[in-house]
Amino acid sequence: MTGSGTAVFLSELGRALPAITEGLLVTLEATGLGAALALLVAFALGLAARSRLLPVRGAARFAVELLRGTSLYVQLFWLFFALPMLGFRLEPMACGVLAFGLNYGAYGAEVVRGSIAAVPAAQTEAAIALGMGPGLRLRRIVLPQAYALMVPPFKNLLIQLLKATPLLSLVTVADLTFRIDQLRAATGGTAAAYLLLLLLYFCVAALLGAGMNALERRAQARLGVVGGDA
Amino acid sequence: MWDMDAARAALPVVLSGFGVTLLATVLGFAVAVAAGLGIALLGRSRSRWIALPVGALASFVRSTPVMVQLFAAWVLVPGLDALALGVLVLGLHYATYLSEVYRAGIDAVPKGQWEACTALSLPRRRVWRAVVLPQAVRKVLPSLGNYAISMFKETPFLSVIAVDEMVHEANAFGSTHFAYLESFTLAAAVFLIASWPTSLLVRRLEARLAH
Amino acid sequence: MPIETVPGPEKVRFDRVTKRFGDQTVLDGLDLAVAPGERVTLIGPSGSGKTTILRLLMTLERVTDGVVHVDGEPFSHMPSGPGGKLVPADERYLAPRRRRVGMVFQQFNLFPHLSVLANVTEAPRHVLGLDADEAAARARDLLGLVGLADKEDAHPTRLSGGQQQRVAIARALAMRPELLLLDEVTSALDPELVAEVLDVLRDVAAGTDITMLCVTHEMAFARDVSDRLLMFDRGRVLESGPPGKLLDAPEHERTREFLRSIR
């Protein structure tokens, strides 16, 4: 970029700042809502996958494989383009949140299931020996310990989800990628615009990662694990 | 509503894109496997001037969206064929994941193995090739399989730089024939049919290597 | 092996109980009765089925065949339908009955996400429905009894093995069990920590009328607290009797062999 090009880019950037901030908020909103839905789906499917009833277990298993196996990209496009042909039209943002929540929720379900299975059986036995029923055991003994195992993989999934949000710009949502692409088109400052965009995502990812690391340290401190991964 | 004729017309189009999808997955994963090993080894370099920047760059690539990386490469590296560019970007993105897998696999080789090599005065190159990597590979194989499946499902991103893979074809068919329901449902079905058995295979492999 | 007769109503009765894991038979048609307040110690080589008896009583395992009774009613099974046919007990049937049984484990199994006090108050609060103050008062009494009054805020993993096991004893007693199962409670401890745990259990035995079933290799402890010893071998009771008789004048060569092997 030439010197005057840089000047043009910077002045345009100044003018576009409110729009970029708005795009950033949309990206954060999609990440937050998608993650919340994913968490819900993860626990629902993860717990159902441990059910003693074969039909419940089978249905959960099938849902997880279906949602993981069909590609997030296709799911989003399906919700945005194909679903209206069945008579249901969702807001573009709702399509995104739904697709992120279902897809990452299915991955999260495996995390929930695996983490619960990783809590030593002796803990459940100790709870049985104290007369605790299945619901109480799960809620008060197993889940609090499984939680510490869930945080690190959930951190990865959260950052993956954030990295998937630029898909929103393909279905007309004015997210961060969409806004910066507008800036790029207006200035021709392609390299600078994309570098800025990548840096913004990197910062958001770093912040989310730091937050999850703090959760992980707290969870490990509660379990008395010394020198948890910092 | 579902139109059987449209579906019948869409199927060959979608399947023709599937060939490109597979090709992109295979080539992209080859790039990832090789570059990932390079990143892992450079990241372990004893020189900070190599290890630190390589680690930082890998972490930057890993935590930013591959879609934006594709856009950026598309406009910044002109003249390269879209498929070749897509394969490189997707491959390098996954290389940053695989470098972590390799790192964990190498770290999982017991310290005693290194010490035994020192005791035998094996040259460093030999230690890596004959002792450490063969043991690490066993440990990382299932993870590699899972990442290959994951990459397969992310190849639709290449359609943003106009690679005519399956979802690109499905999209095109959907818009010209107004048959999105049929074309995208078929594309989803193909992904499912291809990835489910593969993931079962990887799980079997995982169970077998666990002993 | 004739069915042993015990005067009065029985606290525990095993009725032709068989337990198999795969094709391995751990208990083979076992008959066993324990009187209320009785202290019975099970001895014998490892793999002879002693721990399985405790785990069946705690409903951590299911019987393959036969029925376990507690307080004169079926425990491994429950009556079902008009005929009162016995079917395997479900959670709802077990919930009120299981509270009368407590267990202390070889590996302590304290809850790592809870403080020492919360380990002891957890079940009284959420199973028995005690309020927080009541449960805490009960827990503090028991922590005093096991000599850990000053550790109530500590994290379980920061305690020594002996201290952890004493917390586990307090935790089990907080449910006021009528039947206490002690499964090799000192086997995981360093030798110098064994005495503090056994001393606490001697106090519990002397100060309560809880029925106790104990699996241990500590013969001095078994002699002190037991009314009766049962020598197990390959899923069957080889011989039984008061500790003095069984330890000092065993009838079977295998018992003598076993006793020699653990000295």
- pLDDT beyond 50 at C155: yes
Q: Two tokens at A64?
A: 């997880």
Give the pLDDT mean for B40-66: 92
Q: What is the tens place of the pLDDT at every residue in C5-53?
A: 444 579 999 999 999 999 899 999 999 999 999 999 999 988 888 999 9
Can you give the pLDDT at residue A2?
Answer: 58
- pLDDT beyond 50 at C2: no
Q: Can you give the length of chain B in residues?
A: 211
CA-closest candidate to residue C18, choices C104, C85, C76: C76
CB C211 within 8 A of CB C37: yes
CA-closest candidate to residue A82, choices C20, C165, B6, C68: B6
As a whole number of Å, the end-to-end CA separation of chain B is 51
Give the pLDDT mean for B125-132: 87
Range of the domain at A26: 3-222
Can you give the pLDDT at residue B75?
Answer: 87
Q: B76: which chain A residues are within 8 Å (Cβ-Cβ)?
A: 190-191, 194
- pLDDT beyond 50 at C111: yes
Put simply, the chain A residues between 139 and 178 with a CB less than 8 A from any chain C CB are: 140-141, 144-145, 148
Task: Measure the CA–CA gap between C189 and C171, rounded to whole angstroms.
Answer: 18
Range of the domain at B183: 4-210
CA-closest candidate to residue C10, choices C44, C40, C34: C34
Q: Residue B180: CB partners within 8 Å, gap ≥ 6?
A: A77, A78, A81, A82, A85, B171, B174
- pLDDT beyond 90 at C125: yes
Is the ipTM higher than 0.95? The answer is no
Can you give the pLDDT at residue C6?
Answer: 44
Tell if the CB–CB gap between B180 and A71 is shorter than 8 Å: no
Residue A228 lies in a domain: no
Q: Two tokens at C98?
A: 């299981």
Put simply, the chain B residues between 36 and 65 with a CB less than 8 A from any chain A CB are: 60, 63-65
**Pick from A134, A141, A148: CB nearest C111:** A141
- pLDDT beyond 50 at C4: no
CB B36 within 8 A of CB B101: yes
Q: Residue C258: CB partners within 8 Å, gap ≥ 6?
A: C43, C44, C45, C231, C233
- Looking at the DSSP bridge assignments, the partners of residue C240 are C230
Which chains, if any, share at least 3 CB pairs under 8 A with chain B? A
CB B46 within 8 A of CB B125: no
Residues C52, C54, C60, C64: what is their CA dihedral angle, to the nearest 10 degrees?
A: 50
Can you give the pLDDT at residue C5?
Answer: 45
CB A198 within 8 A of CB B64: yes
CATH 3.40.50.300 assigned to C1-100+178-263: yes
- pLDDT beyond 80 at C3: no
Q: What is the tens place of the pLDDT at every residue in B175-187?
A: 999 999 999 999 9
Can you give the pLDDT at residue B144?
Answer: 93
Using beta carbons and an 8 Å cutoff, which residues of A are at the interface with B?
65-66, 68-75, 77-78, 81-82, 85-86, 159, 162-167, 170, 177, 181, 190-191, 194-195, 197-198, 201-202, 205-206, 209
CA-closest candidate to residue C139, choices C166, C112, C162: C166
Task: Measure the CA–CA gap between C207 and C174, rounded to whole angstroms.
Answer: 15
Q: What is the tens place of the pLDDT at every residue in C81-98?
A: 888 899 999 989 999 999
The distance of Cα B87 from the centroid of its chain, to the nearest Å, equals 9
Can you give the pLDDT at residue C206?
Answer: 93
CB C135 within 8 A of CB C170: no
CA Rg value for chain C: 19
Residues C187, C188, C191, C196: what is their CA dihedral angle, to the nearest 10 degrees?
A: -90
**Pick from A122, A123, A133: CB nearest C95:** A133
Task: Measure the CA–CA gap between B183 and B175, rounded to whole angstroms.
Answer: 10
As a whole number of Å, the end-to-end CA separation of chain C is 28
Residue A230 lies in a domain: no
Task: Measure the CA–CA gap between A126 and A147, rounded to whole angstroms.
Answer: 19
Q: What is the tens place of the pLDDT at every residue in C50-73?
A: 999 999 999 999 999 999 999 999
Q: Two tokens at B132?
A: 């450490």
Q: Packing angle between helix A190-222 and helix A143-164, nearest 10 degrees?
A: 180
Can you give the pLDDT at residue C141?
Answer: 96
Q: C112: which chain A residues are within 8 Å (Cβ-Cβ)?
A: 145, 223-224
Q: Residue A47: give its domain's CATH number.
A: 1.10.3720.10
Q: Strands C73-74 and C65-70: what pairing?
A: antiparallel
Q: Two tokens at B1?
A: 């509503």
pLDDT in tens, chain A (230 residues): 556 677 878 888 888 889 999 999 999 999 999 999 999 999 999 999 999 899 999 999 999 999 999 999 999 999 999 999 999 999 999 999 999 999 999 999 999 999 999 999 999 999 999 999 999 999 999 999 999 999 999 999 999 999 999 999 999 999 999 999 988 888 888 888 999 999 999 999 999 999 999 999 999 888 876 543 33
Q: B184: which chain A residues are within 8 Å (Cβ-Cβ)?
A: 74, 77-78, 81-82
Q: How many domains does chain B have?
A: 1
Q: What is the tens place of the pLDDT at every residue in C185-232?
A: 999 999 999 999 999 999 999 999 999 999 999 999 999 999 999 999
Q: Which residue of B has its CA nearest to A208?
A: B63
| pLDDT averaged over every residue in chain B | 91
- pLDDT beyond 70 at B74: yes
H-only helix segments in C127-237: 132-145, 161-173, 191-207, 219-225
Q: Residue B23: give its domain's CATH number.
A: 1.10.3720.10
Task: Measure the CA–CA gap between B197 and A22, rounded to whole angstroms.
Answer: 43
Can you give the pLDDT at residue C1?
Answer: 42
Please, is A7 exposed, middle or buried when counting C-beta atoms within 10 Å of its C-beta (0-12, 13-18, 19+)?
Answer: exposed
As a whole number of Å, the end-to-end CA separation of chain A is 40
Can you give the pLDDT at residue A225?
Answer: 64
Task: Measure the CA–CA gap between A201 and C181, rounded to whole angstroms.
Answer: 58
Q: Can you give the length of chain C in residues?
A: 263
Can you give the pLDDT at residue B184?
Answer: 94
**Pick from A122, A132, A133: CB nearest C109:** A122
Tell if the CB–CB gap between A177 and B67 is shorter than 8 Å: yes
Task: Measure the CA–CA gap between C237 and C233, rounded to whole angstroms.
Answer: 6
- Looking at the DSSP bridge assignments, the partners of residue C39 are C212
Q: Residue A130: CB partners within 8 Å, gap ≥ 6?
A: C102, C122, C123, C127, C171, C172, C175
Give the pLDDT mean for B76-87: 92
Q: Two tokens at C17?
A: 């109980």
Q: Is the dihedral of CA B102, B108, B113, B117 positive or negative?
A: positive
CB C59 within 8 A of CB A128: yes
Give the pLDDT mean for C131-160: 95
DSSP state of A9: H
| Residue C44 φ/ψ, nearest 5 degrees | 145, 165
Kindly list the distances between the CA atom of residue C243 and the CA atoms of B161, C41, C221, in Å, as whole numbers in the listed order.
84, 9, 10
Q: How many domains does chain A have?
A: 1
Q: Residue A161: CB partners within 8 Å, gap ≥ 6?
A: A31, A34, A35, A38, A100, A104
Can you spell out the DSSP letters for B49-97? HHHHHHHHHHHHHHTS-HHHHHHHHHHHSTTS-HHHHHHHHHHHHHHHH
Amino acid at A117: A
Amino acid at B95: A
Q: Is the dihedral of CA B64, A43, B184, B192 positive or negative?
A: positive
